[in-house]
């Protein structure tokens, strides 16, 4: 079955980026001249998915304004002759529909996904966390949609991480330690290094079968007192196949200051108008020690 819908949870507290995220929603933090969430929406649209459901929180108005082409401010920018600067964004918006679904309280990623239940129905849905931005030659969720069509069941986007970082992620246990698409035996949310059965981490990309919604309804709060998508997926994996696919591309954690810095450098180096100056600046810094 083709994947046509995507959920982007955007209601988190953004506590790792305080105070920047006190008034500004975390997905609106800029990476160069684009907000983080725009990179994620580009990944969705470039993968051929046209229905986007953004889960909003207490301060999400800026997200709605960003993807709204017809606000009073848009009119002002057009009258001021600034349409060219916005053309890329307008083109992006014209390629998808945007629906905003409120999550009244930040009760976890699983709860955020559950908020979209009535909009998804009986079909698979892509879920993309808005602070994981993936740079690669082929959009990550598009790679995963191909695997989904081939396997016909839930696919998690994963990569190996340093063992010292397993406590930050949902970790996959599988009987196949080397394959690029492995059957999930068990999932654990943010295990300690000692608890972790592997260092294969789920990096904020999911294509999930609709059976997940009934499971989420009965998933109790887990790690951090939140309803975790990892716990619900773990239950799903006991009922039907769940695959972990090692995607091509590099993931940047834009919810964390150092991850954002790495991402900034990556994206700046890809820009013709910035790359040379950045290289010169970095060479000077290295020389100066």
Q: Which is nearer to ligand G1P, 63 or 232 (CB)?
A: 232
Q: Which is nearer to ligand G1P, 109 or 140 (CB)?
A: 109
Task: State yes or no: residue 203 binds ligand G1P (CB under 6 A).
Answer: yes
Instruction: Give the interface segment with ligand G1P, choosing from 52-60, 134-142, 197-205, 269-277 (CB under 6 A).
Output: 197-205
Among 37, 40, 202, 227, binds ligand G1P (CB under 6 A): 202
Q: Where are the beta strands (DSSP E) in the chain?
A: 5-9, 30-31, 34-35, 51-56, 97-102, 125-128, 132-135, 155-160, 170-173, 181-183, 186-189, 200-208, 243-246, 250-253
Q: Of how many residues is the chain composed? A: 289
Q: Which is nearer to ligand G1P, 55 or 93 (CB)?
A: 55
Enumerate residues 95-134 that contact ligand G1P by CB under 6 A. Answer: 109, 129, 132
Task: State yes or no: residue 158 binds ligand G1P (CB under 6 A).
Answer: no
Structure token pair of residue 40: 């994620």
Q: Which is nearer to ligand G1P, 120 or 161 (CB)?
A: 161
Task: State yes or no: residue 43 binds ligand G1P (CB under 6 A).
Answer: no
For 33, 83, 117, 200, the CA distances from 197, given in Å and listed in that order, are 40, 52, 31, 9
**Is the CB of residue 35 less than 8 Å from the CB of residue 92?**
no
Task: State yes or no: residue 234 binds ligand G1P (CB under 6 A).
Answer: no
Among 39, 148, 169, 247, binds ligand G1P (CB under 6 A): 169
60: CB partners within 8 A, 6+ apart: 10, 11, 25, 54, 100
Task: State yes or no: residue 161 binds ligand G1P (CB under 6 A).
Answer: no
Q: Which is nearer to ligand G1P, 35 or 110 (CB)?
A: 110
Q: Which residue has the tokens 């988190």?
A: 12
**Is the CB of residue 209 less than 8 Å from the CB of residue 241?**
no
Chain contacts with ligand G1P (rule: CB under 6 A) = 109, 129, 132, 169-170, 189, 201-204, 228, 230
């Amino acid at each position: 079955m083709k994947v046509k819908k995507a959920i982007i949870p955007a209601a988190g507290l953004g506590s790792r980026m305080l105070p920047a995220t006190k008034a500004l929603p975390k997905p609106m933090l800029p990476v160069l001249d684009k907000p983080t969430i725009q990179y994620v929406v580009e990944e969705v649209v470039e993968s051929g998915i046209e229905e986007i459901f953004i889960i909003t929180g207490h301060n999400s108005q800026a997200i709605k304004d960003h993807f709204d082409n017809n606000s009073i401010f848009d009119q002002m920018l057009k009258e001021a002759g600034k349409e060219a600067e916005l053309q890329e964004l307008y083109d992006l918006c014209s390629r998808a529909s945007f629906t905003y679904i409120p999550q009244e309280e930040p009760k976890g990623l699983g709860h955020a996904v559950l908020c979209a239940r009535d909009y998804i129905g009986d079909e698979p849905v892509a879920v993309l966390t808005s602070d994981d931005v993936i740079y690669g030659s082929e959009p990550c969720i598009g790679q995963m949609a191909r695997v989904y069509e081939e396997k016909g069941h839930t696919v998690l986007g994963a990569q190996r991480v340093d063992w010292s970082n397993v406590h930050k992620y949902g970790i996959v246990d599988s009987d196949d330690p080397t394959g690029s698409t492995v059957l999930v035996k068990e999932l654990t949310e943010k295990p300690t290094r000692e608890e972790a059965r592997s260092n294969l981490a789920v990096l904020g990309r999911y294509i999930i079968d609709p059976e997940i919604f009934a499971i989420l309804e009965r998933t109790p709060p887990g790690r951090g007192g939140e309803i975790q998508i990892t716990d619900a997926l773990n239950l799903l994996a006991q009922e039907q196949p769940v695959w972990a696919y090692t995607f091509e591309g590099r993931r940047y954690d834009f919810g964390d200051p150092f991850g954002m810095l790495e991402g900034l450098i990556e994206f700046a180096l890809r820009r013709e108008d910035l790359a040379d100056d950045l290289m010169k600046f970095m060479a000077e810094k290295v020389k100066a020690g």
